Structure 1
């Protein structure tokens, strides 16, 4: 894997210029951060508090709250930046960081588990909880992504999927244990709020010691850039260096997470800013990354506190860094694509070759089997609820011979909800099948390439800008947001010929940016958008004939077009040159297929919110059962998608009745084991 930036020697004065410029900017930002917050403090007062502290309210605020917060921002930024630089060196992957390797999500999940089940133990050993979660997530992503042979796109996708799965589990914990996990949402978005110096006192020995330890090993780290065989021929123990560097990176990242929560993209931004000047030797790369990481995080926190109001509160620093870092991923994706262009075709072909079952059932029998399963799950869903009905009562009521109460419950409440869930499951599964063919990667789905988060941003913006609009307008905002996100992805990838690698990586960037915007909007809107938050989790709760009427016509119009494109979609699985030689206009076909997938996903998200994983799981299950023929896969995956979402809606209603778990979280929890199995099974080189 070639690095995103070429290795070259920096001019003699450039490292010192980067060092002096970073330190100067850090000093300016540190001083500016002392003046930001709810309590307005002038520059003169802040300067006086540092030079000649007095026992006044403003000076106490500076020394007791703002100085610890500034010091924590410097320590966390430095730790995250050095961690990112180490991970990029170990994996030789320019997209590796604490965010893309799932370390933040893993640490957050284990801390949430500790908050719920072992609060006393967590209070004493929060750092160990964070390290356990971060290390476990990193190992899972590394293994799923193909190990040391994993390509940047595969590692990034593996990290994205692991992050989504772990975040879904965390969301379920937050919903099920609201009292125990109060305050974790803001911390989970990355909050630098400090009430005393305890966090700084805990963090600085770990950060200083970790940085000193890795600086002593800079010669060994430099050898990793030569490749494993060359380094071994020079007598270097590559495995030991890799283990040491990755362990140090995980510890540094988790020190920050255990105190201020998961703050993303610092480990991606800072090392690449340093590498832009040509400095790739670790003796300069690591300390300069630490300085510029502190600059980025302190600047983001200063910006976030600049929008602090008594009515809204403060924006989480992690959301600001994610919003800043997303365009950086787009830029990196475009650079990585230049080096990956020669191998993207081979990688795509290999990744699309999902192992089939050794003995397959006849296709008509498979269709009948899943249709029957859908009917059974639908019947169970119609029977279950606060008012339990027997199968005979359900059938009698549907045929028009039931009691008035049963008709009210079934016809007005349960049946439209059931049909909406089934139609949305069909749309998401069909969208995922089309998306995987267009992007030519089996790990793509609407949530991963940014459509779902874009739809969420559109819905939130509509509710905030026009609070008086009825709820029926929410799908309009979601539809517009999903299309806007897709437009950004395809516009950025157009100059690369809609390369599958670029489409996927830019989609990850747009998804990250959308998630950051959603966090910012949630904090800004406070508690006034509780219904919108439930919608963003992906829920079929209280869906009526109105939502079904808004969804079903689009699906009935788009699915025949997806079926008609069958032969062209099959040809997209070949290399671009081979498909062109067979007479297929590859770029135009890929754009048409992808836009059709986006339309189906936007319709689904507009109806029930950001339900994920169905577009990832259903097409894979269909492909393993019935082969790679698009038309067969489309029909079978649509049935599987309907079964998944109807089943998730049913399970979410009965597990903790009368409370409900959003369908999107149930789908993620059901699909996570299969997804991990799928990733290991389809690793590059299998």
Structure 2
């Protein structure tokens, strides 16, 4: 197709544009009219009188004037900002899966706000939007650096952004726990809270969103020319990079000020532009305006769902959680239906040595022994740093933690090896694929339904069922794309977001059992008893030995199904057995320690970089490396902020996540 025909097709409006806008506006107006009835007993006639008079002083009228109306206005403003921002980002990158959430801007802005609140509360209160903007720009810069110029239009930029979301979320959680006194008001805010008590935040937000009008005025021509490609746009006088940077900065500004006002609201920026295109938006201006309207409608509907759930559960349900309930299935649908051929590429990690050196064979066991001595002997107390053998009481508390960290790290690392080899996916791991989230949700449901009696007997079985269920969903949803590595990872991330939201909804009921799970969900070893540590160690050791028995089958499957069949291997049966083995490892560790991110992803790649190319050496080396990572993380969590402690899961996620991002950046550079 030549340039003139391309421009003509882009400029040709849809036949039903007026009808589409009219229908959307009618639905939006109906939602606005019905919205106040979710929170106030006032009739429509009374609401109309209050809008005209605005002078009544009874409780219902005050609630309507200072809570319901500001909340509705905030939902409309933030929804418009998120929809417009997502449309700009998707048109700039020509990538339907890009949004403020999948690019890492939301988590970056959130981390910037938390850091500013912790370091300078006065600055955060007055100018928090600049801290959010700095964090968002840093996250986007890192994501673009990882994905590279050729990866912006495909899945690499999305995968990098979602991996960075996990890392930045762990960093934010760690800061929240370390500086609890300064940041304790941010917990609900972090889940996305549209609740208002006056018009203060609405009056603060709307002037800062006027940048959106500038985008609507200047962006359509730029975005239309960019659809011709960089050479075609530059041939028509477009200064490509300055305009791209300006539009990127403007869209990130909309996200940053929205997060400053209401916290994290995910998925709206992803869904609205895609729905706009499905409904017939063809030109750049049409998509921008229609995405803005749909963002307002979607967030208002999500907040209405949150209010209905509040009435049913008699507790606070954050609006961000209900937005995720809508957005995560939408991301699953987009993953299966809307991916193009260029989206099948995956991130490639750097290669290392071709064979394991003798120094490595000797160094790893020595390092584990040194870390055990470090974990047990070197500690902090009120007198400072000490190095001595602990007393009998301290020893009885410390050795179960040390043994649990070693075996948990080994189990997650071997599970990562199995998943990466089975799915032929270098990004597969229990946390990235959502298996850990499925196990955690099943454990929480078991605790809330059956109570805490015999919990540590029920938890492993529940976690296994949850892990296996997620694996089954992954295989069913990935069949359409022949189990493409990138597609499976994105499906796993979507499932993880959905399961995590369900987890938040369960915890929001605030029962004693659900609140007891908060520490476990962060990943911890300090409550593990000696008996539990021994049971976990024996179970993980047996499962690792079983995985070594399947090394030949795993080698043939990782090469290709046809190779395995030609060698007489029952590939479907072997794959099912190995998937069950990976689920058992994940379930056993998660049921006792809680969900831990990045260990199962990083350790297999570290082993491969050290020269473990065959299955057996990679399994053994990954187990040793996973044990080292978890042991070091457990010790750091115990001594970094003495006398307080950081949960093992947060420290391990930060340490391993930073190392993983460093590997990706190294590959790009």
Tell me how far apart the structure 2 counterparts of residues 323 and 374 of structure 1 sit (CA, whole Å): 43
Classify 1:375/1:237 alpha carbon distance in 2 versus 1 (closer, same or farther; 3 Å): same
- Indicate which of 360, 365, 370 corresponds to 1:366: 360
Per-residue CA deviation, residues 276-301 of structure 1 (Å, 9 max, x unaligned), is 12323111101110111111101111
Tell me how far apart the structure 2 counterparts of residues 173 and 86 of structure 1 sit (CA, whole Å): 32
- The corresponding residue for 1:14 is 16
Tell me how far apart the structure 2 counterparts of residues 559 and 528 of structure 1 sit (CA, whole Å): 33
- The corresponding residue for 2:515 is 530
Tell me whether 1:113 sits opposite 2:108 in the alignment.
Answer: no
Aligned-pair CA distance for 1:20: 1.4
Classify 1:86/1:657 alpha carbon distance in 2 versus 1 (closer, same or farther; 3 Å): same
- The corresponding residue for 1:146 is 148
- Indicate which of 384, 399, 406 corresponds to 1:422: 406
Structure 1 unaligned spans of 5+? 1-6, 395-404
- The corresponding residue for 1:137 is 139
Contact 2:178/2:641 (CA < 8 Å) preserved in 1? no
Tell me how far apart the structure 2 counterparts of residues 391 and 46 of structure 1 sit (CA, whole Å): 70
Tell me whether 1:297 sits opposite 2:281 in the alignment.
Answer: no
Aligned with 1:626: secondary structure? coil
Classify 1:338/1:132 alpha carbon distance in 2 versus 1 (closer, same or farther; 3 Å): closer
Tell me whether 1:462 sits opposite 2:414 in the alignment.
Answer: no
Aligned with 2:180: secondary structure? coil
Aligned-pair CA distance for 1:572: 5.2
- Indicate which of 465, 486, 493 corresponds to 1:480: 465
- The corresponding residue for 1:496 is 481
Aligned with 1:169: secondary structure? helix
- The corresponding residue for 2:350 is 354
Contact 1:439/1:504 (CA < 8 Å) preserved in 2? no
- Indicate which of 204, 207, 212 corresponds to 2:206: 204
Aligned-pair CA distance for 1:549: 4.5
- The corresponding residue for 1:436 is 420
Q: TM-score, normalised by structure 1?
A: 0.89
Tell me how far apart the structure 2 counterparts of residues 229 and 591 of structure 1 sit (CA, whole Å): 49
Classify 1:519/1:147 alpha carbon distance in 2 versus 1 (closer, same or farther; 3 Å): farther
- The corresponding residue for 1:316 is 318
Aligned-pair CA distance for 1:560: 2.9
- The corresponding residue for 1:49 is 50
Aligned-pair CA distance for 1:460: 2.0
Contact 2:350/2:664 (CA < 8 Å) preserved in 1? no
Per-residue CA deviation, residues 574-613 of structure 1 (Å, 9 max, x unaligned), is 5778888888777766555444333322221112001111
Aligned-pair CA distance for 1:141: 1.3
Aligned-pair CA distance for 1:204: 1.8
Contact 1:36/1:305 (CA < 8 Å) preserved in 2? yes
Classify 1:282/1:627 alpha carbon distance in 2 versus 1 (closer, same or farther; 3 Å): same
Per-residue CA deviation, residues 344-384 of structure 1 (Å, 9 max, x unaligned), is 4xx45xx55632159x762x542331111111211222335
- The corresponding residue for 1:547 is 532
Tell me whether 1:223 sits opposite 2:219 in the alignment.
Answer: no
Tell me whether 1:445 sits opposite 2:429 in the alignment.
Answer: yes
Per-residue CA deviation, residues 395-423 of structure 1 (Å, 9 max, x unaligned), is xxxxxxxxxx62x543x432222212111
Tell me how far apart the structure 2 counterparts of residues 520 and 285 of structure 1 sit (CA, whole Å): 33
Tell me how far apart the structure 1 counterparts of residues 254 and 150 of structure 2 sit (CA, whole Å): 22
Structure 2 unaligned spans of 5+? 1-8
Aligned-pair CA distance for 1:646: 1.4
Q: After alignment, is 131-140 or 497-506 more displaced?
A: 497-506
Contact 1:352/1:573 (CA < 8 Å) preserved in 2? no
Tell me how far apart the structure 1 counterparts of residues 386 and 471 of structure 2 sit (CA, whole Å): 45
Aligned-pair CA distance for 1:262: 1.1
Aligned with 1:34: secondary structure? helix
Tell me whether 1:307 sits opposite 2:312 in the alignment.
Answer: no
Tell me how far apart the structure 1 counterparts of residues 239 and 579 of structure 2 sit (CA, whole Å): 46
Q: After alignment, is 631-640 or 561-570 more displaced?
A: 561-570
Tell me how far apart the structure 2 counterparts of residues 614 and 313 of structure 1 sit (CA, whole Å): 35
- The corresponding residue for 1:515 is 500
Aligned-pair CA distance for 1:183: 2.0
Classify 1:256/1:493 alpha carbon distance in 2 versus 1 (closer, same or farther; 3 Å): same
Contact 1:75/1:204 (CA < 8 Å) preserved in 2? yes
Classify 1:294/1:628 alpha carbon distance in 2 versus 1 (closer, same or farther; 3 Å): same
Tell me how far apart the structure 2 counterparts of residues 217 and 542 of structure 1 sit (CA, whole Å): 55
- The corresponding residue for 1:188 is 190
Q: After alignment, is 413-422 or 558-567 more displaced?
A: 558-567
- Indicate which of 362, 369, 375 corresponds to 1:375: 369
Aligned with 2:299: secondary structure? helix
Aligned with 1:94: secondary structure? coil
Superposed CA RMSD in Å reads: 2.8
- The corresponding residue for 2:651 is 666
Tell me how far apart the structure 1 counterparts of residues 517 and 640 of structure 2 sit (CA, whole Å): 23
Tell me how far apart the structure 2 counterparts of residues 508 and 652 of structure 1 sit (CA, whole Å): 27
Tell me how far apart the structure 1 counterparts of residues 561 and 216 of structure 2 sit (CA, whole Å): 44
Aligned with 2:610: secondary structure? helix
Contact 1:84/1:271 (CA < 8 Å) preserved in 2? yes
- The corresponding residue for 2:6 is none
Tell me whether 1:246 sits opposite 2:230 in the alignment.
Answer: no
Aligned-pair CA distance for 1:219: 1.7
Tell me how far apart the structure 2 counterparts of residues 527 and 287 of structure 1 sit (CA, whole Å): 47
Contact 1:10/1:278 (CA < 8 Å) preserved in 2? no
Classify 1:572/1:225 alpha carbon distance in 2 versus 1 (closer, same or farther; 3 Å): farther
Classify 1:529/1:373 alpha carbon distance in 2 versus 1 (closer, same or farther; 3 Å): same
Aligned with 1:656: secondary structure? coil
Aligned-pair CA distance for 1:140: 1.1
Tell me how far apart the structure 2 counterparts of residues 579 and 87 of structure 1 sit (CA, whole Å): 44
Tell me how far apart the structure 2 counterparts of residues 45 and 426 of structure 1 sit (CA, whole Å): 64
- The corresponding residue for 1:78 is 80
Per-residue CA deviation, residues 79-125 of structure 1 (Å, 9 max, x unaligned), is 00111111111122111001111111111111111111100011110
Aligned-pair CA distance for 1:272: 0.8
Classify 1:583/1:43 alpha carbon distance in 2 versus 1 (closer, same or farther; 3 Å): farther
